[in-house]
Amino acid sequence: MNIAVTPEALAWFKREIELESGMGIRFFGKVYGSTQVHDGFSIGMSVDRPENPLVKKEIEGILFFAEREDDWFFKGYDLAVDYSKELDEPKYIFTEN
């Protein structure tokens, strides 16, 4: 699994979320909703400290990561985090890896 974050999404995170030292943006699978590749599950996001990361990516001082316990959700996919201007929030795109 790989995490990519567009410059527009990165700007949104910088503008909207304050991170304390050691904290990052965690992506995880949650029950209900859907993604382009999951039915009955959607992607969640939280401010958290990495414990047992599956993948970590630091971009301009912001850490983005997923935990190993969420491998079931991301297995076989890369995650691209983009920005929806219409909704003023991140949008998530899965591609097979």
Share of the chain above pLDDT 70, in %: 89
Share of the chain above pLDDT 90, in %: 76
Question: Mean of the per-residue pLDDT values for the chain?
Answer: 90
Structure tokens, 27: 């992506």
| Arithmetic mean of pLDDT, 25-48 | 79
Q: Cβ neighbours of residue 3 under 8 Å, at least 6 residues apart?
A: 27, 55, 57, 64, 65, 66, 78, 79, 81
Q: What homologous superfamily does CATH list for 3-96?
A: HesB-like domain (2.60.300.12)
pLDDT digits (tens, 9 = 90+) for 63-75: 999 999 999 889 9
